[in-house]
């Protein structure tokens, strides 16, 4: 695959920059790449060296390796960096097990345990005084919304249906139509993790108070826990969820419009995530192949672009000392950072021919097929998102440069940023054949 070849090009530089953990990650990525090329054991059995993986699960595992690893690199040299690295590795282990488990109860436990490392990252390394309140919101939404899912999982285990993939691939007799109230009980846990508009108030608070590595993991992977759950549920069951589809489209348009008025860079990126995950949710529950494909592409693309946006924003924050967009000015002559910001913003708004463009077109067709009137809302959402990020770029990079700001990036900063860009481009090429 393309990303395996790019890994070989960057291997020597990575060897010098990131140490032993990088070597382990590249070995695992190469193993995953060999599986994509047909040497693994994921065929009809879907077993991959002890892990139960299909192509969807394998892609999320690969994404977890990339995001968690570069998040750890982004926090190198910080206070008590060793403890942070331990939390990142624990988070990675939990994510791999969750995306590859075949046990329903194990999936639920790992689904909830995956947020614990982020809780400690915010609690001990959060940069704001409101971090206790942020953790309170974070745990409240996680625990309360997951209670119906816990009850349903317990009932499934009690009935002897403890195999996760048997529901998805039709090995069980109960994988047909699902009762609406049971379906809503399951979906509300996934909707809060995405999060869909209406259950999103914890996300901006968590992003504002989290360190840069925590924000990268939260945006890149933890938000995908809900999307992964909805994707598996749609594969297994059929339900009429038209009213939730409208909610997702409405949330997409409203949050995209809100981004035009917000002034904190981290909050803007957080609401942009809510916007993209809301329309991805609508695409999933539309039950059209366009919607499923577009949602999957959106989650993978967002899983790389959103951490990159947080990382670049943190680089600029370290130099100017503020996250206020109106004050983040003065890099007109700073070509390297300006080019990275421009590329990232174009990735985020779905500029062709990148992956998010195909994702948004697919989602637009699925929404238009499901509800014609919702097509106008999604169109306005696309427009608001594009105007917002292009306006932010103009404000940041076409203004007078303040005095005393370092106009260079060190080798580690360049490596993390450029590597994430390359991975996004690699995913765009390799997934364009879906």
For the cut 50, the answer to whether the pLDDT of residue 3 exceeds it is no
| 83 and 230 housed in the same domain | yes
How sure is the predictor about 177, in pLDDT bands with cuts at 50, 70 and 90? low
| 107 and 30 housed in the same domain | no
Query: In the prediction, which pLDDT does 67 show?
Result: 92
Report, as an integer, the average pLDDT of 44-54.
59
If you compute the radius of gyration of the chain from its CA atoms, what whole number of angstroms results?
21
Cross-strand pairs, 163: 103
Cβ neighbours of residue 429 under 8 Å, at least 6 residues apart?
2
CA distance 101 to 61: 12
How sure is the predictor about 300, in pLDDT bands with cuts at 50, 70 and 90? very high
For the cut 50, the answer to whether the pLDDT of residue 4 exceeds it is no
Could you identify the residue written with the tokens 């070509």? 335
| Residue 264, helix vs strand vs coil | strand
| 306 and 269 Cβ atoms separated by less than 8 Å | yes
CA distance 193 to 92: 17
Cβ neighbours of residue 198 under 8 Å, at least 6 residues apart?
247, 251
How sure is the predictor about 294, in pLDDT bands with cuts at 50, 70 and 90? very high
Q: What is the largest CA-CA distance in the chain?
A: 69
| 50 and 127 housed in the same domain | yes
Query: In the prediction, which pLDDT does 28 show?
Result: 52
How sure is the predictor about 178, in pLDDT bands with cuts at 50, 70 and 90? low
Query: In the prediction, which pLDDT does 25 show?
Result: 52
For the cut 80, the answer to whether the pLDDT of residue 228 exceeds it is yes
Query: In the prediction, which pLDDT does 272 show?
Result: 93
How sure is the predictor about 311, in pLDDT bands with cuts at 50, 70 and 90? very high
Report, as an integer, the average pLDDT of 54-60.
85
Query: In the prediction, which pLDDT does 267 show?
Result: 92
Query: In the prediction, which pLDDT does 335 show?
Result: 67
Report, as an integer, the average pLDDT of 249-274.
92
Query: In the prediction, which pLDDT does 6 show?
Result: 44
Boundaries of domain holding 317: 240-434
| 14 and 52 housed in the same domain | no
Element (DSSP H or E) covering residue 47: strand 47-48
The count of structural domains within the chain is 3
Mean model confidence pLDDT for the chain: 79
| 13 and 122 housed in the same domain | no
Pairwise pLDDT comparison (50 vs 54), residue with the higher score: 54
| 396 and 409 housed in the same domain | yes
| 247 and 196 Cβ atoms separated by less than 8 Å | yes
CA distance 266 to 209: 10
Verify cis geometry, omega within 30 degrees of 0, for the bond prior to 353.
Answer: yes
Query: In the prediction, which pLDDT does 78 show?
Result: 56
Read off φ and ψ for residue 273, nearest 5 degrees.
Answer: -65, -45
| 52 and 100 Cβ atoms separated by less than 8 Å | yes
For the cut 50, the answer to whether the pLDDT of residue 11 exceeds it is no
| 227 and 277 housed in the same domain | no
Q: Which of 36-50, 82-96, 107-121, 134-148 has the lowest mean pLDDT?
A: 36-50
How sure is the predictor about 64, in pLDDT bands with cuts at 50, 70 and 90? very high
Query: In the prediction, which pLDDT does 172 show?
Result: 42
Report, as an integer, the average pLDDT of 383-411.
77
For the cut 90, the answer to whether the pLDDT of residue 329 exceeds it is no
CA distance 304 to 203: 18
| 47 and 71 housed in the same domain | yes
| 287 and 427 housed in the same domain | yes
| 277 and 414 housed in the same domain | yes
Query: Of 230, 327, 326, which is closest to residue 278 (Cα–Cα)?
Result: 230
| 195 and 250 housed in the same domain | no
- 265-287, pLDDT tens digit by residue? 999 999 999 999 999 999 998 88
Q: Which of 82-86, 108-112, 314-318, 375-379 has the lowest mean pLDDT?
A: 82-86
Pairwise pLDDT comparison (243 vs 299), residue with the higher score: 299
Query: In the prediction, which pLDDT does 256 show?
Result: 92
* Domain termination residue (choose one: 217, 239, 261): 239
Q: Kindly state the percentage of the chain with pLDDT values over 70.
A: 77
| 191 and 89 housed in the same domain | yes
* Domain termination residue (choose one: 214, 239, 264): 239
For the cut 80, the answer to whether the pLDDT of residue 423 exceeds it is yes
Q: Which of 146-150, 326-330, 334-338, 402-406 has the lowest mean pLDDT?
A: 402-406
How sure is the predictor about 334, in pLDDT bands with cuts at 50, 70 and 90? low
How sure is the predictor about 41, in pLDDT bands with cuts at 50, 70 and 90? very low
For the cut 60, the answer to whether the pLDDT of residue 2 exceeds it is no
């Amino acid at each position: 695959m393309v990303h395996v070849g790019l890994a070989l090009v960057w291997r020597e530089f990575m060897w010098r920059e990131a140490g032993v953990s990088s070597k382990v990650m590249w070995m695992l990525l190469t193993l995953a790449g060999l599986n994509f090329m047909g040497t693994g054991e994921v065929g009809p059995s879907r077993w991959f060296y002890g892990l139960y993986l299909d192509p969807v699960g394998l892609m999320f595992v690969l994404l977890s390796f990339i995001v968690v690893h570069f998040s750890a690199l982004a926090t190198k040299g910080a206070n008590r960096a060793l403890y942070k690295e331990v939390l990142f590795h624990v988070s990675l282990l939990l994510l791999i097990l969750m995306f590859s488990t075949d046990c329903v109860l194990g999936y639920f436990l790992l689904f909830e345990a995956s947020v614990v490392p982020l809780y400690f990252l915010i609690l001990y390394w959060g940069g704001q005084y409101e971090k206790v309140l942020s953790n309170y919101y974070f745990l409240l939404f996680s625990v309360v919304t997951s209670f119906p899912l816990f009850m349903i999982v317990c009932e499934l285990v009690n009935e002897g249906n403890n195999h996760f993939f048997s529901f998805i691939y039709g090995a069980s007799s109960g994988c047909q139509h699902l009762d609406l109230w049971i379906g809503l009980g399951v979906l509300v846990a996934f909707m809060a993790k995405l999060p869909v508009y209406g259950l999103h108030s914890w996300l901006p608070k968590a992003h504002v108070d989290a360190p840069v590595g925590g924000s990268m993991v939260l945006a890149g992977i933890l938000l995908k826990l809900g999307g992964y759950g909805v994707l598996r549920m749609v594969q297994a069951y059929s339900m009429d969820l038209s009213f939730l589809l409208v909610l997702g489209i409405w949330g997409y348009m409203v949050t995209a419009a809100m981004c035009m008025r917000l002034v904190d860079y981290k909050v803007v990126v957080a609401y942009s995530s809510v916007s993209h995950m809301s329309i991805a949710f609508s695409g999933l529950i539309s039950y059209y192949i366009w919607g499923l494909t577009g949602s999957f592409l959106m989650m993978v693309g967002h899983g790389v672009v959103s951490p990159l946006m947080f990382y670049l924003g943190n680089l600029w924050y370290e130099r100017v000392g503020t996250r206020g967009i109106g004050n983040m000015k003065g890099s007109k002559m700073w070509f390297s950072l300006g080019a990275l910001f421009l590329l990232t913003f174009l990735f985020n708004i779905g500029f062709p021919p990148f992956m998010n463009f195909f994702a948004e077109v697919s989602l637009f067709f699925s929404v238009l097929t499901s509800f014609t009137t919702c097509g106008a809302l999604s169109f306005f959402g696309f427009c608001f998102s594009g105007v917002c990020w292009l306006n932010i770029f103009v404000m940041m990079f076409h203004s007078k440069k303040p005095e005393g700001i370092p106009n260079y990036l060190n080798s580690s900063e360049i490596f993390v940023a450029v590597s994430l860009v390359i991975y996004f481009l690699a995913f765009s090429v390799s997934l364009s054949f879906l």
